[in-house]
Amino acid sequence: MNEWVYFLHAPREDFIATMTDEEREVWGRHVAWVTALFEEGSIVVVGPTLGPTNTGICVFEAEDEAAAQAVVAADPAVVSGIGRGEVRPFRMLYLRGRD
């Protein structure tokens, strides 16, 4: 299994503080989707950056680039067009508690 880093770019600065009702509903579906991936074991770490630039960061495992791109393409935030996804190959060198 290979590791990938997924950046979810919000549509504007201070997105977390300025979400519309529609965006909040989409983000609720995004969180449920992320939670399911985490619970199935493919996500290593996930969370948003804070401050004025709210970028989501997710390190996850997928077999190859096509599979990684499919994960990103299935994110409700990307499907809705509110968020913009970017995925890159990632090599985890050190992780506390992981051999």
Per-residue confidence (pLDDT) for residue 95, from 0 to 100? 86
Q: Where are the domains of the chain?
A: 30-53+61-81
pLDDT by 10s per residue, the chain, length 99: 999 999 999 999 999 999 999 999 999 999 999 999 999 999 999 999 999 999 999 999 999 999 999 999 999 999 999 999 999 999 999 988 876
CA 33 – CA 41 distance, rounded (Å):
13
Enter the pTM of the model.
0.92
**Does residue 27 contact residue 17 with C-beta atoms inside 8 Å?**
no
